[in-house]
Amino acid sequence: MAAPLSDRKRSRPRPGRQAFAALLAVAALSAAVWLWAVNESPDTIRAAVAQVGGAAALLLCAAVTAAVHQAAAARSALARLADAEARSRQDREARTEIEDQVTALADTAVPLMLRRIREDRTTAAEVLAGELPEVLPPVAHLRRTVLDQLLEADSRTATAMISTADCGARIQARLTTLLAQLRELEERYGDRSDIFSDLLKVDHNVSRTGRLADTLVTLAGGRSGRRWTRPIVMESILRGAAGRITAYRRVRLHSTSTLAVVGHAAEGVMQALAEVMDNAVNFSAHGTDAHVYVQEEDTGIVVTVEDSGLGIRRRERRLAESLLSEPRDLSTLPSSRMGLAVVGSLAHKYGLKVSLRPSARGGTGVVLLIPTHLLTEPRAPEPRPSTRSTAESSDGPGETVASGEDASSRPDGSRPSLPRRSTAGTAEAPSAQPGGLPRRRRGRTLAEAVRENPEQLFPLRSASAGKQVRGGLSTRFSAFREAVPGSEEQHSQNDA
């Protein structure tokens, strides 16, 4: 680079000026020679010498000037050429450097940024400042812009996920209320089989909708919708799962397990099983069933869901396994098929192990292991009918009585003013022991107390009739009927 520079300096004088200098020098020289020649020549030829010599001197001047000008111009052109070459080499080097840095940005820096942002968005920028290499200003600018955009995108994603989870949770809450109301209606119209059938259909549709909300919330990283406060037995788990899918009639449950899943994990297990069952039914030929088997093993409970479909291709299987093994959320889903992603996410959350294998039925078997730390013995109030539980010890005392009452008293609503027990009264006041006297609370008339709990009047009578006192309603009614003639007599006596 040094040589062309000095070249350039040396050739600084313009070709015109060089030519002019040369012209002056040649003109001076040739003028001197011409004068000398004219003086020295004999007089006879002096005029001729002067003319010829003058012409020759002029030609010489012109030729030398032209030559010098051309030479100077050529030198100048060469210098410019060398200069241009140097500059282009310099530019090439600079371009290569930028290219390398941009490639590095794409290959290593951006993935690193994404990783750090995923780890923690708030500190990502600081951490990255120490980790990323020094680069040329334009690349640095590009990198800063990319980082800003990535941070912004991540923040937007996070907001969208939170809103989705929040919205899903609200849907879940409403559906839970709706399901509770439906259950009440089912109790109320339990004796009207036509209404009851319709209610069951509505119930199923609401439950299916609930699964959608669950999917949304799970993939948006929210909490599972319902928390069960007690362990849920396997039978209920399986039925709770199967009940959430559209074709629940095509799921065949084979379970003799009496173990229960702990309350906090029950919802997750049901949700995962529901997705697996739904997959199994959807991939089975129409009209065939999916079978669910439960085995108790040392490591936990193994639930196998087998379909009789065509099996899955290798590529689909790889995708399915990747979905099951690495938890995804809404922002990292590879496709719009969400079922297996939900299973993967829940498996990760609760420590369930899910694997695929070919099924003996020809289709695919999904094996889901519920580890022992999620299992327990079912809690005591699981109705043990051998001891003939009375209303207090059975699972839902208020509801038990209420359903019986509704069931048998509603249809003939022709009894206008029967003393109606409030359900809370019977449930919370088990004070009328058989054989005891009618009780009233302080400050109330006995008639009021009786109106609340007429059963108090008749325990002796039913006991004397040799019947066992039961929570059942027909016994109470028969006791009531037995009491009717007696009170009628009393009534007429009073009248008399």
Partner 1 sequence: MRADPLHKEKPDRLYMVTGGRGGADEPSLDSVALIVAESEPSPEMQSEHAAVLRLCARPTAVVELSAELGLPVSAVRVLLADLLDTGAVTARHPAPSTVREGPQHDPDTLKQVLLALQRL
Q: Which residues of 92-127 are buried (b: 16+ CB within 10 A; e: fewer)?
A: eeeeeeeeebbebbeeebeebbeebbeeeeeebeee
- Stretch binding partner 1 (CB under 8 A), from 15-23, 36-44, 310-318, 470-478: 470-478
- Which of 91, 489 has the CB closer to partner 1? 489
- Which of 91, 448 has the CB closer to partner 1? 448
Residues in contact with 449: Cβ distance below 8 Å, sequence separation at least 6, in sequence order: 438, 439, 440, 441, 456
Q: Which of 176, 209, 288, 372 binds partner 1 (CB under 8 A)?
A: 176
- Stretch binding partner 1 (CB under 8 A), from 128-136, 248-256, 312-320, 363-371: 248-256
Give the integer Cα–Cα distance in Å for 344 and 136. 44
Residues 302 and 369: beta-carbon distance below 8 Å: yes
- Stretch binding partner 1 (CB under 8 A), from 148-156, 235-243, 283-291, 303-311: 235-243
The 70-109 site mask, x for binding partner 1 (CB under 8 A), equals ----------------------------------------
Contacts (CB under 8 A) with partner 1, residues 354-383: 383
Tell me how far, at minimum, the Cβ of 463 lies from partner 1, in Å: 18
Contacts (CB under 8 A) with partner 1, residues 182-201: 183-184, 186-187, 189-194, 196-201
Tell me how far, at minimum, the Cβ of 452 lies from partner 1, in Å: 12
Tell me how far, at minimum, the Cβ of 140 lies from partner 1, in Å: 57
SS3 category, 438: coil
Give the integer Cα–Cα distance in Å for 272 and 340. 8
Tell me how far, at minimum, the Cβ of 298 lies from partner 1, in Å: 21
351 binds partner 1 (CB under 8 A): no
Place of tokens 């899943």: 261
Q: What is the DSSP letter of 86?
A: H
- Stretch binding partner 1 (CB under 8 A), from 29-37, 88-96, 155-163, 484-492: 484-492
Residues in contact with 117: Cβ distance below 8 Å, sequence separation at least 6, in sequence order: 124, 150, 151, 154
54 binds partner 1 (CB under 8 A): no
Contacts (CB under 8 A) with partner 1, residues 423-442: 423-424, 427-428
Contacts (CB under 8 A) with partner 1, residues 266-305: 266-267, 270
* C-alpha pair distances (Å), 228 with each of 129, 268, 349: 47, 11, 17
Q: Which of 364, 404, 458, 479 binds partner 1 (CB under 8 A)?
A: 404
Residues 272 and 352: beta-carbon distance below 8 Å: yes
Among residues 32, 143, 56, 66, the alpha carbon closest in space to that of 98 is found at: 143
Q: What is the DSSP letter of 107?
A: I
Tell me how far, at minimum, the Cβ of 476 lies from partner 1, in Å: 10
Q: Which of 46, 121, 204, 348 binds partner 1 (CB under 8 A)?
A: 204
Q: Which of 112, 407, 429, 463 binds partner 1 (CB under 8 A)?
A: 407
Q: How far is CA 79 from the centre of its chain?
A: 67
Place of tokens 């199923």: 204
Rg of the chain, C-alpha, whole Å: 50
239 binds partner 1 (CB under 8 A): yes
